[in-house]
Amino acid sequence: MANTPQSKKRARQNETRMAVNKTRRSRIRTYLRKVEEAIASGDQEAAAAALRVAQPELMRGVSRGIFHKNTASRKMSRLSSRVKSLGKA
């Protein structure tokens, strides 16, 4: 357990940051799930619209330090290719 005043304060700050990051991560995952559901339904227009909404949220997570930049780019690339392939099928 934290003993010094500084370590006690850092523990409090870490708890707060963890709660904020948890809500942000959950919000981003919700947007990604909506894209996945639209892809599963086979509706390309809905999937493309959900993807357009999810992209800035995912990149905002990168700027806030929740996701690594390459991870977000990989997710966006894979989702966009799946949305694009809906039109061909």
**Whole-angstrom Cα distance, residue 66 to residue 89?**
35
- pTM equals 0.85
Residue whose structure tokens are 């700027």: 63
**Whole-angstrom Cα distance, residue 51 to residue 65?**
21
Q: What is the pLDDT of residue 1?
A: 74
Q: Which two structure tokens, joined as six digits, stand for 82? A: 């799946």
Q: Which domains does the chain have, with CATH numbers?
A: 5-88 (1.20.58.110)
Q: What is the pLDDT of residue 5?
A: 95
Q: What is the pLDDT of residue 88?
A: 76
Per-residue pLDDT tens listing for the chain (89 residues):
778 999 999 999 999 999 999 999 999 999 999 999 999 999 999 999 999 999 999 999 999 999 999 999 999 999 999 999 987 75
Residue whose structure tokens are 């006690």: 8
Q: Is the torsion defined by CA of 25, 27, 29, 31 positive or negative?
A: negative
